[in-house]
Each structure stands twice: as C-alpha cells, then as structure tokens.
C-alpha cells in the first residue's frame, strides 16, 4: 500500500508535512488549506505564548513572515494542485513523496 507525504518547505530548515492515502487534486487542495490554517495557528500561538519584552516588535516581524508564507502558497497553489509539485524558489516549494507501507496480517491458527 502507498501513502503520500505532502511537504511545504518554508525555507532552508523549516518544513511541514502531512500524510494522505491518496495523491489527487482533492487531497492536494486539502493540504494547501491545512497549511494556511497552520500559518494562522502559528501566529495565534505566538501571540498567546510570547513572553518577551519585545513582544510587539517580534509580533510585527512574525506577522510579516506569516503574510509572506501565505503569498508563497498563493503563488504555488494552482501548479501544486495540478502537478503535485510547485517551486517558489530554491528553498520554498511544495512536493509529494510516495512511501510504501506494509501491512502484515498475522493469522491465528
């Protein structure tokens, strides 16, 4: 059985991945929507959990990064949904990897 790992490379060392049973337009669209939700969730988590005295300055920076990541998804969305791969630049891209999963059934004698 195959499963599909969908990956959003946000930069050189940062990526987010989800696993799907199917690699089709619907699952790729679902992945894009989940990446958008995650970006918003990360920003909200930052607001709630930041304890720094520079919270407001850091929030402004984090919000700019979040908006930029949304822009990257917007630019790559159509190509990714159609082709299972999209590239914004050498460090920012969307991709799908397939993996074989083995199911071992133990029979009872």
Per-residue pLDDT reduced to its tens digit, 68-79: 999 999 999 999
| Nearest to 86, CA basis, from 40, 31, 20, 39 | 31
| Nearest to 86, CA basis, from 2, 28, 38, 41 | 28
Question: pTM of the entire structure?
Answer: 0.86
Return the pLDDT at 64: 92
DSSP bridge pairs for 93: 9, 87
């Amino acid at each position: 059985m195959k499963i599909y790992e969908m990956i959003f490379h946000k930069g050189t060392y940062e990526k987010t991945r989800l696993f799907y049973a199917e690699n089709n337009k619907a699952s790729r669209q679902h992945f894009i929507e989940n990446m958008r939700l995650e970006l918003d969730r990360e920003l909200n988590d930052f607001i709630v959990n930041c304890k720094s005295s520079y919270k407001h300055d850091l929030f402004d920076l984090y919000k700019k990064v979040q908006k930029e990541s949304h822009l990257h998804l917007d630019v790559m969305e159509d190509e990714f949904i159609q082709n299972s791969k999209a590239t914004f630049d050498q460090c920012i891209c969307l991709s799908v990897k397939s993996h074989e999963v083995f199911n071992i059934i133990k029979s009872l004698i």
